[in-house]
Amino acid sequence: MPPKKASPKRSLKPAPGMLSGGVALGRHILIENVQPSVDGGLFPVRIAAGRACTVQATALRDGHDPIRVELLWRSEAQKAWQAVSMHCINPGLDLWQAEFTPPKTGLHYYSVEAWSDAYLGWSKDFRKRVEAGVAELEGPLQEGVQLIAPVAAAAEGADKTALDAALAVLMRPAEPRDLLAAAEGAVEAMGRLQARVDAVRLDPPRALEAAGALAAKGAWYEFFVRSQGPLDRSRSGTFKDAEGRLDDIAAMGFDVIYLAPIHPIGKAHRKGPNNSLTAGPGDPGSPWAIGSEAGGHTAIEPALGTLEDFDRFVAAAAARGLAVALDFAIQCSPDHPWVKLHPDWFYHRPDGSIKYAENPPKKYQDVYVVNFDTADRENLWDALESVLRFWIARGVRIFRVDNPHTKPLEFWRWALARLKQDFPDLVFLAEAFTRPAMMRALGKVGFNQSYTYFTWRNSKAELTEYLNELCHSEMRHYYMPNFFANTPDILPTFLQKGGAPGFRLRLVLAATLSPVYGIYSGYELCEDAALPGREEYLDSEKYELRPRDWNAPGNIKGLISRLNQLRRSQPALGRLDNLHFTHTDNEQLIAYLKAGVDGGESLLVVVNLDRFQAQQGWVQVPLEAFGLPEQGSYRVEDLLDGSVYQWEGRGNFVKLDPALSAAHVFRVQRA
């Protein structure tokens, strides 16, 4: 075998008509289908920092020479790649795998390189000859020596000693079996030290965004600061009042407290109760109608307190393990300072009047739309970015973005990339209830999380189909669902009749199906009064103060606390791709496995989707997921109420009465 020169470490230029970027093709080797990837590598994949990213690739070579495949990765700041050798996990499919763990938040890159291992090829060939009893070994031995000699000459230390020893054996007459032992003894060192023949590498590499922990997992609680005041509604609740609510919210086990907008509310076109177009003198208006003479997006509504009160609130929340999320709504009340300062930032109708906002069929007559295409675009975009920087400087790391799908994707890509460069732990939640492709696009351009259709998926078939898409399609690499069970805009029809049982079962689904979920306050009280025939709350808090007795009888705070506790103690509930549905013979019973991850145990969840009647049926237990043999009994313990059952084999009987409990969350143990 003539000594070969190492090929350059890049793929050949693709031929006309061939995809570039997604594959690497050299003279002999092809690398393709590198996973994870989003749109073939056009957008970064997203993972929480500190979590292992499993990389797979198809890598193959013509002929019989074996290849070596290596995963390369680095953070954006590092110049040098770190290499991890990939293992062939399926030779028939030429499938290779390895993993790496981005240790810190921020942008990372990864790629795959493959090359021919000429020496391994030779040693395999040599073994065949020896095993076949071929007498003439001189020629093959010379080839082996030719491969080792230059490598041994350049080697150092223990490698040199080992390679020299192998050479010595191969160059003198010896028993075939001793020759073979020497030849194979050099495989490992040769694999590391010889020149990489035929090397190809995926170029450009894939990008990966390592996000903060709260991007990947968290329980959210939403409230209006102004509703945290006295029950008699004699005045608006303030940040000081809201501070008094933090212990309760922390005790329920939430991670994030999301505040409806806290900025000054405009007076012009202010809305009254139940979305009426006129407000009475005492009506506080919609908090999304941002801006008054008291200021705009960087000011605090005077009725809530001051910036200092806000800072105290953030600190008090942090002291209880709660992160504060703010609402970012790019729209302005006619009273917003920008309307006078920058009239050209708004859309004007031909008659000169300014256009109010809409998200058909909804109309927001109390706010003006911002014109992202204004000639003064640069200043507008900068101003919007500085709003976020203003709150970031005050310790906020999470933003729920209002209607992002009515603003340019390019604005989000630009703003989020810039901000994350400086603050890689930022979390952006997209409140886009719109077409699926747009919701996905927002994830691709930088949003960490998104609201979802969960709110309207009620049946077993609907839930199964939707969750399989979220957890097992390419979406899992960039789209983290945030399962809000209700929002101030949505009191789902499903919750409107039937009381607490419906609230309990939707809560269990949200908290166990998605690593990120949330409720809007009032859920714990099972508030279910809607405008007739609508999914809008009756007397919505969006237009009124709504203080409540948070411990009113019939509340489901116990269940909320228990679920959030389990989400903290069970790593399986913090992952998306470990969800697997399992068969039940009753359409009203849904069952799923949350497979154990990070050393935690696997869980089996069974939920009764019927909020009116007890349901029973047979549930298939995926025994292998629990390490259980086909025969024999085992113990299942419901982590919600502590009840214990003896089960046997695959099919087991379950009965759930919604008046008593919505679900079982089982731990499964050998008897």
Give min distance, CB of 288 to ligand Z3D, in A: 3
Q: Which is nearer to ligand Z3D, 275 or 620 (CB)?
A: 275
263 touching ligand Z3D, by CB under 6 A: no
Instruction: Output 365 or 473, the one with its CB closest to ligand Z3D.
Output: 365
| CB closer to ligand Z3D, 364 vs 634 | 364
Contacts with ligand Z3D by CB under 6 A: the residue count is: 15
Nearest distance from C-beta of residue 363 to ligand Z3D, angstroms:
7
**Token match 């009994």: residue?**
633
Contact stretch for ligand Z3D (CB under 6 A) within 284-292, 308-316, 391-399, 434-442: 284-292
Q: Which of 113, 209, 366, 402 is catalytic?
A: 402
Helical segments of 132-277, H only: 138-154, 157-170, 176-185, 187-193, 213-216, 239-243, 246-251
Write the CA distances from 568 to 357, 512, 562, integer angstroms: 40, 11, 10
d(CA 338, CA 175): 90
Cα-Cα end-to-end distance for the chain: 62
Residue 234 or 278: which CB sits closer to ligand Z3D?
Answer: 278
Q: Is 274 in the site for ligand Z3D (CB under 6 A)?
A: no
Q: At its nearest, how many Å lie between ligand Z3D and the CB of residue 337?
A: 17
The residue from 403, 482, 521, 608 that contacts ligand Z3D (CB under 6 A) is: 403
Closer CB to ligand Z3D, 454 or 626, in the complex = 454
What gap in Å lies between CA 70 and CA 87, rounded to an integer? 9
Q: Pick from 488, 501, 574, 658 the residue near ligand Z3D by CB under 6 A.
A: 488
- Dihedral sign for Cα atoms in the order 7, 10, 14, 18: positive
Write down the residue that tokens 């068969």 correspond to. 583
Cβ closest to ligand Z3D, residue 274 vs residue 464: 274
Output the smallest distance, CB 299 to ligand Z3D, in A: 16
Give the Cα separation of 302 and 239 in Å (integer). Answer: 11
Rounded Cα distance between 387 and 390, Å, is 5
Closest approach, Cβ 488 to ligand Z3D, in A, equals: 6
Q: How far is the CB of 46 from ligand Z3D (least distance, A)?
A: 24
Candidate list 126, 221, 239, 288; residue touching ligand Z3D; CB under 6 A: 288
How far apart CA 280 and CA 273 sit, in angstroms, is 9
Cβ neighbours for 567, distance < 8 A, ≥ 6 positions apart: 217, 219, 253, 511, 573, 574
Helix (H, G, I), strand (E, B) or coil at 484: strand
Is 624 marked active-site?
A: no
Residues 545-604 that bind ligand Z3D (CB under 6 A): none
Q: Please, is 585 exposed, middle or buried when counting C-beta atoms within 10 Å of its C-beta (0-12, 13-18, 19+)?
A: exposed
Give the residue among 498, 493, 490, 495 at the shortest CA–CA distance from 507. 495
Which range, of 109-117, 286-294, 414-422, 620-628, touches ligand Z3D by CB under 6 A?
Answer: 286-294
Residue type for position 421:
Q
Residue 451 vs 634, nearer CB to ligand Z3D: 451
**By CB under 6 A, which span of 246-254, 283-291, 344-352, 606-614 interacts with ligand Z3D?**
283-291
Q: Which position among 209, 335, 402, 544 is part of the footprint of ligand Z3D (CB under 6 A)? A: 402
Q: Are the beta carbons of 273 and 314 closer than 8 angstroms?
A: no
**Per the structure block, which two tokens stand in for 392?**
């970031």
| Least distance to ligand Z3D, CB of residue 580, Å | 33
| C-alpha neighbours within 13 Å on the C-beta side of residue 454 | 27
Site string for ligand Z3D, 300-329 (x = CB under 6 A): -----------------------------x
Shorter beta-carbon distance to ligand Z3D: residue 180 or 289 = 289
Task: Give 46 or 269: the residue with its C-beta nearer to ligand Z3D.
Answer: 269
Smallest gap from Cβ 304 to ligand Z3D, in A, equals 16
- Per annotation, catalytic residue among 431, 527, 528, 610: 431
Q: Any idea what the Cα angle at residue 302 is, between residues 301 and 307, rounded to 5°? A: 75
Residue of the chain from 28, 271, 397, 444 that contacts ligand Z3D (CB under 6 A): 271
Amino acid at 488: P
Stretch that binds ligand Z3D, among 29-37, 282-290, 422-430, 444-452 (CB under 6 A): 282-290
Asked if 275 is part of the footprint of ligand Z3D (rule: CB under 6 A), the reply reads: yes
Rounded to an integer, what distance in angstroms lies between the CA atom of residue 91 and that of residue 426?
41
Question: Considering beta carbons, is residue 289 or 388 the nearer one to ligand Z3D?
Answer: 289
Q: Which of residues 337-376 bind ligand Z3D (CB under 6 A)?
A: 364, 366-367
State yes or no: is 431 an active-site residue: yes
CB of 405 to ligand Z3D, least distance (A): 11
Q: Which amino acid is at 224?
A: F
Enter the DSSP assignment of 11: P
29-35: strand order across its sheet? 24-25, 29-35, 53-61, 95-100, 87-90
Burial class (CB in 10 A: 0-12, 13-18, 19+), 18: exposed
425 is an interface residue for ligand Z3D by CB under 6 A: no
Helix (H, G, I), strand (E, B) or coil at 333: coil
Is residue 542 involved in binding ligand Z3D (CB under 6 A)? yes
User: Which residue of 55, 208, 289, 300 would you call a contact of ligand Z3D, by CB under 6 A?
Assistant: 289
Q: Tokens 């058909």 map to which residue?
A: 360
As a whole number of angstroms, the distance between CA 50 and CA 643 comes to 35
Cα–Cα distance measured from residue 270 to residue 283, given in angstroms and rounded to the nearest whole number: 8
CB of 333 to ligand Z3D, least distance (A): 8
Footprint of ligand Z3D (CB under 6 A): 271, 275, 286, 288-289, 329, 364, 366-367, 402-403, 431, 488-489, 542
Catalytic annotation, residues? 402, 431
